[in-house]
Amino acid sequence: MWFKLRIKIKKAKGYSNSRKYIKLINDASIYDVAINSPTTHAVSLSLKEKNNIFLKREDLQPIFSFKNRGAYNKIFNLSEKEKSAGIIAASAGNHAQGVALACKKLKIQCNIVMPVTAPENKIKAVKRLKAKVTLYGENLSHALTKANKIAKKNKYTFVHPFDDPYTIAGQGTVGKEILQDDINYDVIFVPVGGGGLLAGVSAWIRQHKSKIKIVGVEVNDSACLSEALRLNKRVTLKKVGLFADGVAVSQVGKNNLMVIKECVDEVVTVDIDQVCAAVKDIFEDTRVLSEPSGAVALAGLKLYSKKMENKNLLAISSGANVNFQKLGYIVERSEIGENREKILSIKIPEKSGSFLKLSKIFGKLLITEFNYRKSNSKDAYVLVGIRTTSEKSFVQLKEKLNKLKYTFNDYTDNKISNDHLRHMVGGRSNILLDSNIKERIFNGEFPEKPGALSEFLNNFGSNWNISLFHYRNIGSAYGNILIGIEDHNKNRNMLVKHLHKCGTSFKEETDNRAYLDFLKWLVLIFKSEF
């Protein structure tokens, strides 16, 4: 599949909502705190993708993100009464820095509410700008609720992160600068969270260069704009992924959506692996480490470019406030996102010479990983990571395995394998077990906060026995968990209902091939004679 989701927008007739932003963008006051960011020609990526690819370098702003534009323009245009009351905002990071920088420049009291799960580097950055930071809640929604309560109690002026005309106009100056490049762009790619940047950029470009195609890019686990367009109304997502925290928004802005419907051509979604690959691409061409949300637009561009050649394509590199703890995960998943690393589970005979025979099949292909787990006296399973030169070479390898009658499964897109299996020690074990007890496997997310494990186990209680547990944090607000539970109840829904009450979202994976091949019990049934 080309994209996880691709929506072509039947643009609204006329420009009644977007036209009013032209004067606001033209009059926007931002350059006291922002730079006219350069555009970089991504030479290496251009050669690889057979298009002329450019990056609008918002990662070079003083706060390493475009958010200083909209925040400063909004606060600058407040009344003196609103300024003197003091400012409050809620943010997981980049908007918080933009507001704090604006308040420092304009000598205004600044209060920021951030979730307790916000990256430490962003919390420290906000404090360095002399803002008062309150940590509250596990996500942005909790922080927003708290900020509004504090605002009402202390009569502070609340500054919204994206759903405000002056904020949109401030972000729209990015579009104005893009057209100053004097490059005839064919398509411009813009990352989407709440839609402030996309609305501002598209409003300006549509009014001045109507032939340029504008594409919004979302991460598939926080695609609130795509959902709004699909249902033709704003919706609130029940859950958003937090790896790309800069675009982790549950609902697109009201003002933003009205402009987007008039000015944007398409919205596409990408996955986290594709984002990680784009982070790598930005580094290779600029030597700058983008944060995941900063590489979202490029991830969309790369997929789009497969269908064209010799076009001028621009992606907005929107931020570089990367959480250092995420780097290992980004490196690991970038190969999969680039479609270069493939993961295979291969069944081999449990006898001398099997490894050697299998290795000869791979030829000169680079082996990135090789894991073995004995299954029984006859068979063994190996988990093999292979770096392929092309999709064709991978197809040829599978054909060779089929010809030699090997049983194998492609785990490249298997979440259990990628998030857990490759990092676990052990595997199968022989279990003497009562026939009424079955092991069930669930995959979920675990909040990265002090006491989270104890809280979960306390809520889980002692009615079921945990048989497997693996937790892996990826430098985000939530880490991935894999849990095995012994279930002796005939009513299978009882355990599911119990898990939902524990405060953690789970999906059952008992039939997942990675689990069945490498982790499932080899059961010796014990039947009681009593």
Q: Active-site residue numbers?
A: 67, 318
Question: How far is Cα 41 from Cα 313, in angstroms, rounded to an integer?
Answer: 10
Give the relative orientation of helices 296-305 and 272-286 as an angle to the nearest 10 degrees.
100
Question: How far is Cα 258 from Cα 238, in angstroms, rounded to an integer?
Answer: 22
Question: How far is Cα 120 from Cα 115, in angstroms, rounded to an integer?
Answer: 11
Q: What is the DSSP string of 92-104?
A: SSHHHHHHHHHHH
DSSP E strand boundaries for 260-361: 266-270, 312-317, 341-349
Distances in whole angstroms, Cα of residue 98 to Cα of each of 122, 199, 478: 11, 18, 25
Q: Long-range contacts made by residues 323-329, C-beta under 8 angstroms, separation at least 24?
A: 323/119, 323/120, 323/121, 323/122, 323/291, 323/475, 323/476, 324/121, 324/475, 325/473, 325/475, 326/243, 326/292, 326/474, 326/475, 326/476, 327/289, 327/475, 328/475, 329/276, 329/474, 329/475
Tokens of 155: 């009569």
Q: Is 84 exposed, middle or buried (0-12, 13-18, 19+ CB in 10 A)?
A: exposed
Please compute Rg for the chain using Cα positions: 26
Distances in whole angstroms, Cα of residue 6 to Cα of each of 2, 295, 304, 335: 9, 18, 10, 24
Distances in whole angstroms, Cα of residue 159 to Cα of each of 41, 357, 452: 35, 65, 31
Nearest of 412, 457, 431, 409 to residue 519 by alpha carbon: 431
